[in-house]
């Protein structure tokens, strides 16, 4: 199922805490090696806002039709469910088919469903003085939402979450074969689970993403059953862990990076969307890779066709050329939505409005319910981190709550 040419990037943190604070290293790279060549992997790295944006925008110089990536490359690249590894103009058609499920109207229809799922999760916290926000909200919300929107039974969410975690677990050197085997198995099981669901829905279209994908037609072209299954798996991969991290990181920023924020948001809920944008800019780890499509010196040094290039999105998000006092978490910051966390250009995240909505509803519902929230005195960051696609993310985050 997956190709095997994985890029190892240049980041090398000696602890999970250092990885969590990777922004120090990104600053160092921005200041000292804004365009950095790694001879071991034959990979270029860019760290400045404008350069990162250029790599993401300019598909004529930086193509997604690549031989290597840190995302495992699927073997069947011609499959139309695959947006990641294609360029315009062919990418546009693939994207348009999937976008049929992500219209502003669908989003409006989804809002009450997301609210109902969130209410249920927040109701389950009732009576507890200490809540682990990661396990009780950030992890379950995106997986239940996507299961519901795809139209698969939400009782299967635990197994769906398990498949999704295995499929998108980072590759590590040393255990590559083992991880690849597990991923292949998860992919096969997931495929076999979804396939009959798609066949069934073909006969009885309903109000969900799988049905939208069955209906979708562009220039007389429609997706096959297999492509719909693969698109659904792709949506889980794109939207689960990312949205989990966003919600967890919001709580971390509001209570640890700038502890006055929770109270401010409690007093004025209208600030929540702006605060989420600032979290996306300030504390969300992201990077993307491309292949150099033709020899170029747009960033100074000569880069050769066929070499890989990594755009360090989170470094760009803290570039002082773009954001004043970038190392400061400031929910009132003007223009913070110009962060690159959802990408830029033709591949801009299709699920960004959904991710923003989930985060907004999750935070608003929780903040309305609890007037005071604090961190236990015994809290030690290192006990709550886990290795992840973003090097380190929160596996738990205990909060002491008062109504
Ligand atoms: C693409 C980030 C949530 C679906 C992308 C890209 C980024 C990104 C950076 C661009 C990739 C590239 O340039 O190669 C995020 C973040 C999220 C999030 C930070 C949450 C905080 C979601 C959700 C969904 C989703 C919830 C859907 C359920 C997609 C899809 C693409 C994409 C389908 C491919 C678009 C294309 O290649 O044309 N996302 N994403 N994402 N995202 Fe998201």
> Quick one: which atom of ligand 1 is closest to the CA of 356?
21
Answer whether 61's CB lies under 8 Å from 293's CB: yes
Average pLDDT over residues 226-244: 88
Task: Please tell me the residue having the least CA distance from ligand 1 atom 31.
Answer: 349
pLDDT at 72 over 70: no
Per-residue confidence (pLDDT) for residue 162, from 0 to 100: 87
* Mean pLDDT of the chain, nearest integer: 90
Q: Is the ipTM of this complex over 0.95?
A: yes
Per-residue confidence (pLDDT) for residue 171, from 0 to 100: 61
Show Cβ contacts of residue 323 under 8 Å, excluding neighbours closer than 6 positions: 49, 281, 317, 333, 335, 336
> Quick one: which atom of ligand 1 is closest to the CA of 346?
38
Task: Please tell me the residue having the least CA distance from ligand 1 atom 36.
Answer: 347
Per-residue confidence (pLDDT) for residue 318, from 0 to 100: 98
Q: What is the pTM of this model?
A: 0.94
Q: What's the pLDDT tens digit per position in 297-307?
A: 999 999 999 99
**Alpha helix positions (H), 129-224:** 133, 140-150, 157-167, 176-203, 209-215
Alpha-carbon 2 to chain mean position: 20
Q: What's the pLDDT tens digit per position in 111-154?
A: 999 999 999 999 999 999 999 999 999 999 999 999 889 998 87
Task: Please tell me the residue having the least CA distance from ligand 1 atom 12.
Answer: 347
Pocket-forming residues, ligand 1, beta carbon under 6 Å: 56, 83-84, 95, 98, 146, 235, 238-239, 242-243, 246, 286, 288, 341-343, 347, 349-351, 354-355
Q: What's the pLDDT tens digit per position in 240-281?
A: 889 999 999 999 999 999 999 999 999 999 999 999 999 999
Average pLDDT over residues 23-40: 96
> Quick one: which atom of ligand 1 is closest to the CA of 86?
37
pLDDT at 105 over 90: no
Centroid of ligand 1 to alpha carbon of 284 (angstroms): 13
Band of pLDDT at residue 191, cut at 50, 70 and 90 = very high
Band of pLDDT at residue 81, cut at 50, 70 and 90 = low
The strand order across the sheet containing 62-63 reads 35-38, 43-46, 308-311, 288-292, 62-63
């Amino acid at each position: 199922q997956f190709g095997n040419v994985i890029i190892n990037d240049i980041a090398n943190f000696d602890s999970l805490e250092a990885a969590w604070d990777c922004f120090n290293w990104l600053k160092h790279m921005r200041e000292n090696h804004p365009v950095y060549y790694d001879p071991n992997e034959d990979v270029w790295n860019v760290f400045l806002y404008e350069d990162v944006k250029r790599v993401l925008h300019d598909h004529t110089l930086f193509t997604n039709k690549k031989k290597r990536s840190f995302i495992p490359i699927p073997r069947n690249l011609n499959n139309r469910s695959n947006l990641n590894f294609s360029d315009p103009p062919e990418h546009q058609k693939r994207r348009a088919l999937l976008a049929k499920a992500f219209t502003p109207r669908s989003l409006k229809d989804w809002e009450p469903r997301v609210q109902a799922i969130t209410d249920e999760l927040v109701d389950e916290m009732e009576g507890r003085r200490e809540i682990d926000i990661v396990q009780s909200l950030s992890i379950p919300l995106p997986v239940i939402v996507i299961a519901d929107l795809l139209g698969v039974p939400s009782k299967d969410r635990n197994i769906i979450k398990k498949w999704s975690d295995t499929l998108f677990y980072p590759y590590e050197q040393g255990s590559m074969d083992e991880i690849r085997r597990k991923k292949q198995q998860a992919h096969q099981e997931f495929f076999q689970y979804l396939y009959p669901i798609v066949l069934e829905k073909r006969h009885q279209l309903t109000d969900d993403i799988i049905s939208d994908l069955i209906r979708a037609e562009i220039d007389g072209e429609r997706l096959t059953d297999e492509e719909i299954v693969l698109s659904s798996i792709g949506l889980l991969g794109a939207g689960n862990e990312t949205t989990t991290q966003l919600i967890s990181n919001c709580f971390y920023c509001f209570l640890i990076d700038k502890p006055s924020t929770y109270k401010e948001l409690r007093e004025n809920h209208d600030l929540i969307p702006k605060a989420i944008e600032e979290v996306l800019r300030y504390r969300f780890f992201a990077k993307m890779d491309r292949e150099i499509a033709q020899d170029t010196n747009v960033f100074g040094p000569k880069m050769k066709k066929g070499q890989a290039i990594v755009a360090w999105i989170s470094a760009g998000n803290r570039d002082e050329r773009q954001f004043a006092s970038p190392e400061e978490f400031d929910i009132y910051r003007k223009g913070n939505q110009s962060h690159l966390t959802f990408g830029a250009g033709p591949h801009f995240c299709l699920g960004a409005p959904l991710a923003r909505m989930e985060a907004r509803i999750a935070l608003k519902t929780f903040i309305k319910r609890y007037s005071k929230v604090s961190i236990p005195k015994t809290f030690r960051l290192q006990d709550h981190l886990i290795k992840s696609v973003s090097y380190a993310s929160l596996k738990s985050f205990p909060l002491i709550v008062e109504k």
